[in-house]
């Protein structure tokens, strides 16, 4: 594992393979780069692969007083610059999709492709008003019991009763053990991502590709309303938010087709 320093903080990353196109994988909230292990093994013979731990996650630094999702996106940009990456396809899972959306629109020069994994299901759409009290309650409970609130959220939203127990246990443990100072500050931002998406999705230069799990539906109406350069949606079977754990083969197959198409358009 290697590191760069981004805005004074060590950001840990791994680089594999040596292809002309780089796949930069960015994980979601409260997990780490190890979740991409099956994708690294599948793609590293053909591409350069870069995985990273977001600030406050995994082996990356935790010494920030202010935790903003925009700063995490700046870390992604700084990693691309430090490694002098060209022909980059950004692949972001969950919160990582919003982070790479910020990165792609702040630093578009090297980005030739953009792939979301299980996010943007209601892109740029604010939560209905009837959920505002629930959001307020979640944030208040988190301040009193961070680990317990995180566990409840993971069980209610990220997994289902049909999810294999080992995946549920893994996700619950990750959410309970997340770095609390970072989590307390970023949690309220999770519920305002629609504002970032509304501003940034229309500015996205590449086609918006999505690989979403069908345990929750994706709104095509929202995608059609907010994408300027179009979108392509692939849905795969699954019972949780984590296809890289339960269905890595299906995820790899979907990603492979999308990546090949992106590269063909560059030729």
Task: Assess if residue 173 is contained within a domain.
Answer: no
Task: Assess if residue 22 is contained within a domain.
Answer: yes
**Direct distance between the N- and C-terminal alpha carbons of the chain, in angstroms, rounded to an integer:** 33
The per-residue pLDDT for 132 is 81
CA distance 216 to 238: 9
Which residues in 76-117 belong to E strands, given as ranges? Answer: 88-93, 111-117
The per-residue pLDDT for 267 is 75
Residue holding tokens 């780089």? 22
CA distance 45 to 227: 33
The per-residue pLDDT for 7 is 95
Task: Specify the pairing of strand 9-16 against strand 2-6.
Answer: antiparallel
Task: Assess if residue 87 is contained within a domain.
Answer: yes
The per-residue pLDDT for 17 is 97
Task: Assess if residue 210 is contained within a domain.
Answer: yes
Task: Assess if residue 181 is contained within a domain.
Answer: no
pLDDT in tens, 192-207: 999 999 999 999 999 9
Residues 6+ away with beta carbon under 8 Å from 153? 138, 175
Is 41 in contact with 14 (CB distance < 8 Å)?
A: no
The per-residue pLDDT for 137 is 86
Q: What's the number of domains the chain is made of?
A: 1
pTM attached to this predicted model = 0.97
The per-residue pLDDT for 79 is 98
Task: Assess if residue 11 is contained within a domain.
Answer: yes
Of the CA atoms within 13 Å of residue 79, those in its CB half-sphere come to: 33
Task: Assess if residue 249 is contained within a domain.
Answer: yes
Q: Which domain holds residue 261?
A: 2-126+194-266
Task: Find the CATH number of the domain harbouring 75.
Answer: 3.40.50.1820
pLDDT in tens, 222-263: 999 999 999 999 999 999 999 999 999 999 999 999 999 999
Weakly modelled stretches of the chain, pLDDT under 50: none
Task: Assess if residue 111 is contained within a domain.
Answer: yes
Task: Specify the pairing of strand 22-26 against strand 48-52.
Answer: parallel
């Amino acid at each position: 594992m290697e590191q760069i320093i981004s805005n004074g903080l060590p950001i840990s990353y791994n680089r594999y393979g040596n292809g002309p196109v780089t796949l930069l994988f960015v994980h979601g909230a409260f997990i780490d780069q190890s979740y991409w292990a099956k994708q690294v093994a599948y793609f590293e013979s053909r591409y350069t692969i870069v995985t990273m731990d977001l600030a406050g996650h995994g082996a990356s630094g935790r010494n920030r007083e202010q935790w903003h999702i925009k700063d995490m996106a700046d870390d992604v940009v700084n990693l691309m610059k430090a490694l002098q990456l060209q022909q980059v396809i950004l692949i972001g899972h969950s919160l990582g999709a919003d982070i790479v959306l910020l990165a792609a629109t702040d630093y578009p020069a090297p980005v030739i492709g953009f792939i979301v994994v299980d996010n943007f299901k209601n892109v740029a759409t604010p939560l209905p008003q009837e959920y505002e009290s629930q959001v307020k309650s979640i944030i208040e409970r988190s301040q009193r019991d961070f680990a317990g609130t995180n566990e409840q959220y993971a069980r209610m939203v990220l997994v289902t009763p049909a999810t294999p127990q080992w995946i549920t246990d893994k996700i619950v443990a990750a959410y309970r053990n997340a770095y609390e100072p970072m989590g307390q500050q970023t949690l309220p931002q999770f519920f305002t991502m629609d504002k970032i998406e509304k501003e940034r999705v229309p500015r996205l230069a590449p086609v918006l590709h999505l690989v979403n799990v069908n345990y929750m539906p994706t709104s095509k109406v929202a995608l059609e309303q907010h994408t300027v350069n179009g979108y392509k949606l692939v849905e795969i079977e699954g019972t949780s938010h984590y296809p890289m754990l339960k269905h890595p083969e299906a995820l790899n197959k979907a990603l492979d087709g999308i990546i090949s198409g992106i590269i063909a358009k560059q030729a």
